[in-house]
Amino acid sequence: MSQQGRSYQFTNAICRVPAHSIIDGLRAEDTGTPSPDQFRSDHGLYIAALEKAGIEVEVLPALEEFPDSVFVEDPALCLPDLAVVLRPGAESREGEAQAIRPALETYYDTILTIEDGFVDGGDILMTDDSILVGLSARTNQAGFEELKGKLATHGHKVEKVDTPEGVLHFKTDCSLLDSSTILATYRLKDAACFSGFKVLEVPRGEETAANSIRVNDRVIVSQGFPKTAQMLEDAGYRVEIVPTQQAALVDGGPSCMSLRFAPNK
Task: Tell whether residue 93 is among the known ligand binding residues.
Answer: yes
Entry field: residues in the chain:
265
Q: What is the pLDDT of residues 126-147, one digit of tens each?
A: 999 999 999 999 999 999 999 9
The pTM of the full predicted model, rounded to 2 decimals, is: 0.95
15 is catalytic: no
Task: Tell whether residue 109 is among the known ligand binding residues.
Answer: no
Task: Tell whether residue 219 is among the known ligand binding residues.
Answer: no
Catalytic residue among 15, 78, 193, 256: 256
Amino acid at 163: T
- Which structural domains are found in the chain, ordered by start? 12-261 (3.75.10.10)
Whole-number Å distance between alpha carbons of 104 and 228: 33
pLDDT reported for residue 166: 86
Q: What is the pLDDT of residues 198-256, one digit of tens each?
A: 999 999 999 999 999 999 999 999 999 999 999 999 999 999 999 999 999 999 999 99
169 is catalytic: yes
Catalytic residue among 15, 43, 156, 169: 169
With contact defined as beta carbons under 8 Å apart, do 69 and 52 qualify?
no
Amino acid at 33: T
Task: Tell whether residue 112 is among the known ligand binding residues.
Answer: no
